[in-house]
């Protein structure tokens, strides 16, 4: 059974701090990794994707990938109350790229 594991949280950080969200996956052949943000009652919104080992930065967001450790993380700098949401880690299995497995999500609260 292919799995994606996340700490369910909630993770609480003060406004302006760095929020660090972590994810591990079991399928060693996975090639593509995604972070989605989902507000309550809304659909998932793609915020970051990463394919290669290392860091990828986009604004206040940095995704980090370590395929050897089967670990992917998301850093949110200068966290804002509007960042409060559930963050879903998603992994495309090595099956042609269409089959995506989602982690259970980490709930993030940013306190003003």
Q: State which of residues 1, 28, 43, 112 lies at the interface with other proteins (CB under 8 A).
A: 43
Stretch that binds other proteins, among 43-51, 55-63, 67-75, 76-84 (CB under 8 A): 43-51
109 binds other proteins (CB under 8 A): no
Span 72-101, contacts to other proteins by CB under 8 A:
88, 92, 96-101
How many angstroms separate the CA atoms of 110 and 11, rounded?
A: 8
74: Cα within 13 Å, side-chain hemisphere: 30
Cβ neighbours of 44 (radius 10 Å): 18
71 binds other proteins (CB under 8 A): no
Helix (H) or strand (E) holding 35: strand 32-38
Span 23-42, contacts to other proteins by CB under 8 A:
31-32, 34, 36, 42
Both ends of the chain: CA-CA distance in Å?
40
* Min CB(5)–other proteins separation in Å: 11
Read off φ and ψ for residue 93, nearest 5 degrees. Answer: -75, 160
> Which residue ranges make up the site for other proteins (CB under 8 A)?
31-32, 34, 36, 42-46, 49, 51, 88, 92, 96-105
């Amino acid at each position: 059974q292919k799995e994606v594991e996340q700490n369910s949280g909630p993770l609480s950080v003060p406004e302006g701090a760095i929020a660090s969200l972590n994810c591990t996956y079991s399928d060693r052949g996975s090639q593509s990794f995604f972070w989605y943000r989902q507000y309550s009652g809304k659909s998932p919104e793609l915020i970051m994707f990463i394919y290669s080992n290392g860091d990828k930065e986009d604004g206040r967001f940095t995704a980090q990938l370590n395929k050897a450790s089967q670990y992917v993380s998301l850093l949110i700098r200068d966290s804002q109350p509007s960042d409060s949401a559930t963050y879903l880690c998603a992994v495309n299995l090595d099956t042609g790229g269409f089959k995506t497995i989602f982690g259970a999500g980490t709930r993030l609260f940013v306190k003003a």
